Amino acid sequence: MNSLKRARSGVLRFAGYLIPLLQSLPPLGVWTGLMTLPFVSYLIAIFTNLPVNLPTALSDLSGWLTSPFLVPEKASVIIGLAILVYSVAYLKLKRKDGLVASGPYRLVRHPQYLGMILSTLGLTSWSVWILNNTFGIGFLDPSQTIAVWFIELFAYIVLANVEDLFLSKNHGEAYGNYANEVPFLVPFLNAKRKSLEVFISIVVPSILLLILLSIQRI
């Protein structure tokens, strides 16, 4: 038991020293790359997998937006990207003032990851429809495409937990009070226990994906 506590303490100390170092690098440095890696990897896997090329499908953006085709998926993509862009821009404007707990950060502690998860959730459902309803064959089948999204989801839950460790170390009691009041990744569902936060962050997006996939069959 003592060795387990020492190991855990060592991991926390390592994260506490490593994350500030990475965040002190230029904006396009290692830390930014680490945060965007799951998102970029997901997009590469999905865009190169589809028998109908997704960039081609998106080339006429106005037509894509006004088409009644796959409306829930498009809504998820647009809302997710809007959350992502707004939260990143807001953080860059406010972070010099200390702990950011306003704007999108009043709803969840990691809105940028929520935005990525929602946008890729819509793309995943859309990709499954394309794979099931076209004659082409991708290198991933629909179940593997869904698995790629779950890998991204788990990656962002891990990254969000690591950020929580750093912010707690950096802001102390202020971040502890903030975390007690603001949900982890899912708005309006504040578990106040780390294990339950992780459970909610997996289950709620999974249910949303299941709903989108079920609507396709109607």
- Taking only the tens place, the pLDDT of each residue in 28-39 is 444 455 677 888
Q: What is the DSSP string of 160-182?
A: HHHHHHHHHHHHTHHHHHHHHHS
At 43 the pLDDT is: 81
147-201 confidence digits (pLDDT tens): 999 999 999 999 999 889 888 888 888 999 999 999 999 999 988 788 999 999 9
At 200 the pLDDT is: 95
Residue 214 has a CB neighbour count (10 Å cut-off) of 10
pTM, full prediction: 0.78
C-alpha atoms less than 13 angstroms from C-alpha of 209 in its C-beta half-sphere:
25
What residues does each domain of the chain span?
A: 2-216
C-alpha atoms less than 13 angstroms from C-alpha of 43 in its C-beta half-sphere:
9
